[in-house]
C-alpha cells in the first residue's frame, strides 16, 4: 500500500512539474520566477540595445544640426509629391490620354513617392546605431531599385504606349 501511495505522489509531482515547467523560469542561482507571457516563447530577433546614458542627467538634450533637406522643406516636398499625384492619377483616366508630358510627370512622381516612402521605412526600421551595415545595404538596394524602375518607366514611355494607355489596355482586356 505504501508503494502505491508513493507512486501516486511521484506521478502527481511529475504531472505538476510538467504543467508548471513552461510557466516557471529558473535563473542562474536556481531561484524560480514566473514568466511574463506564458503562452509564447522568448524569441528576440535582435539583442536589446545597451542600456547606457550619454552624459549626466543635468545635460540638455542634443539639438540636431539644421538642414533644409531634412527639415520642414523635406516634409513640404513630400506633401507636394503626394498632392501632385492625385490629379495626375485621375486626369488621364477621366479625360482620356492627355499628353506624353502628363504621363511622364505621373511616372516621375510615382518613382519619387515610392522612393521617399521606402526610405522612410528604412530609416524607421533599421536604426543606424544598431544595424549600420544592414541600413547601408538597404539604402543601396533602394537606390538600385529606384533607378531600375525609373529606367523601366522611361522605356515604357518612349518606346511603348505609356503607363496610362498600358493600364487602360490591361483594364479593358
Domain boundaries defined on the chain: 72-172
More confident residue, 67 or 171: 171
Does residue 61 or residue 115 have the better pLDDT? 115
At residue 140, the pLDDT reads 98
Binding residues: 113, 125
| Predicted model pTM | 0.64
Binding residues for a ubiquinone: 125
pLDDT band at 93 (very low <50, low <70, confident <90, very high): confident
Q: Which of 131, 134, 138 is nearest to 115 (CA)?
A: 138
Residue 23 confidence class, pLDDT cut points 50, 70, 90: very low
Euclidean distance between CA atoms 147 and 114, whole angstroms? 12
List, as residue ranges, the binding site for heme b. Answer: 113
Confidence of residue 27 (pLDDT cuts 50, 70, 90): low
Q: Which CATH number is 72-172 given? A: 1.20.1300.10
pLDDT at 70: 72
The answer to whether 149 and 111 have CB atoms below 8 angstroms apart is yes
Amino acid at each position: 500500500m505504501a508503494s502505491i501511495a508513493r507512486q501516486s505522489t511521484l506521478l502527481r509531482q511529475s504531472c505538476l512539474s510538467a504543467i508548471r515547467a513552461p510557466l516557471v523560469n529558473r535563473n542562474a542561482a536556481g531561484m524560480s520566477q514566473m514568466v511574463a507571457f506564458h503562452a509564447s516563447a522568448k524569441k528576440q530577433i535582435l539583442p536589446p540595445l545597451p542600456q547606457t546614458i550619454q552624459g549626466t542627467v543635468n545635460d540638455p538634450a542634443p539639438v540636431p544640426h539644421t538642414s533644409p533637406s531634412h527639415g520642414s522643406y523635406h516634409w513640404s516636398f513630400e506633401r507636394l509629391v503626394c498632392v501632385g499625384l492625385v490629379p495626375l492619377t485621375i486626369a488621364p483616366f477621366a479625360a482620356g490620354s492627355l499628353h506624353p508630358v502628363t504621363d511622364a510627370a505621373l511616372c516621375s512622381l510615382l518613382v519619387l513617392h515610392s522612393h521617399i516612402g521606402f526610405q522612410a521605412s528604412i530609416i524607421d526600421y533599421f536604426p543606424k546605431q544598431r544595424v549600420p551595415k544592414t541600413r547601408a545595404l538597404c539604402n543601396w538596394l533602394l537606390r538600385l531599385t529606384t533607378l531600375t524602375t525609373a529606367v523601366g518607366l522611361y522605356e515604357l514611355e518612349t518606346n511603348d504606349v505609356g503607363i496610362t494607355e498600358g493600364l487602360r489596355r490591361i483594364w479593358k482586356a
